[in-house]
Amino acid sequence: MKFTVERAAFLDAISRLSKVVGNKSSLPVLEGILLSAKQGTLSMSAYNLEMGMQKEIYASCEESGEIVISANLLSNIIRRLNGPQVEIETDERLMCHIKCNEALFDIMGMAASDFPEMPSVDEGTKLTIDSEVFSSMVKGTIFAVAQIEGTRPILTGINISVKNNVLQFVSIDGFRLAIRREKIAECDDIEFVVAGKAVNEFVKLIDENSENIEITVGNRLISFSVNGYVFISRLLDGEFVNYEKIIPTEYKQKVILNLSELISTLECVSIIINDTLSTPVRCAFDENKLSLTCMTAIGKSSEKINISLEGEPFEIGMNSRYFLDALKVCQTGEIMLTFNGENSGVLIKSADENNKDFLYLVMPMRLKK
CATH of the domain at 257: 3.10.150.10
DSSP symbol at 61? E
Point out the domain boundary residue: 212, 243, 274: 243
Return the H-helix or E-strand segment holding 207.
none
Residue 150 is predicted with a pLDDT of 64
pTM for this structure? 0.92
Per the structure, the count of domains in the chain is 3
C-alpha distances out from residue 183 to 128, 134, 167, 228, 250, Å: 12, 12, 6, 25, 26
Residue 7 is predicted with a pLDDT of 97
| 233 and 283 belong to one structural domain | no
C-alpha distances out from residue 314 to 17, 54, 247, 285, Å: 51, 54, 20, 5
Number of Cβ atoms within 10 Å of the Cβ of 325: 17
Residue 298 is predicted with a pLDDT of 87
| 21 and 74 belong to one structural domain | yes
Residue 209 is predicted with a pLDDT of 86
Tell me whether residue 304 is exposed, middle or buried, using C-beta atoms within 10 angstroms of its C-beta: 0 to 12, 13 to 18, 19 or more: middle
The verdict on residue 328 lying in a domain is yes
The verdict on residue 102 lying in a domain is yes
Domain that holds residue 27: 2-114
Residue 113 is predicted with a pLDDT of 96
Point out the domain boundary residue: 243, 267, 300: 243
The verdict on residue 369 lying in a domain is no
Number of Cβ atoms within 10 Å of the Cβ of 239: 7
Secondary structure class of 267 (helix, strand, coil)? helix
| 294 and 358 belong to one structural domain | yes
Point out the domain boundary residue: 48, 79, 114: 114
Residues in the chain predicted with pLDDT less than 50, given as ranges, are none
Residue 47 is predicted with a pLDDT of 95
| 70 and 153 belong to one structural domain | no
Tell me whether residue 202 is exposed, middle or buried, using C-beta atoms within 10 angstroms of its C-beta: 0 to 12, 13 to 18, 19 or more: buried
| 131 and 231 belong to one structural domain | yes
Choose among 334, 368, 331, 369: nearest CA to 351: 334
Residue 296 is predicted with a pLDDT of 87
Residue 211 is predicted with a pLDDT of 86
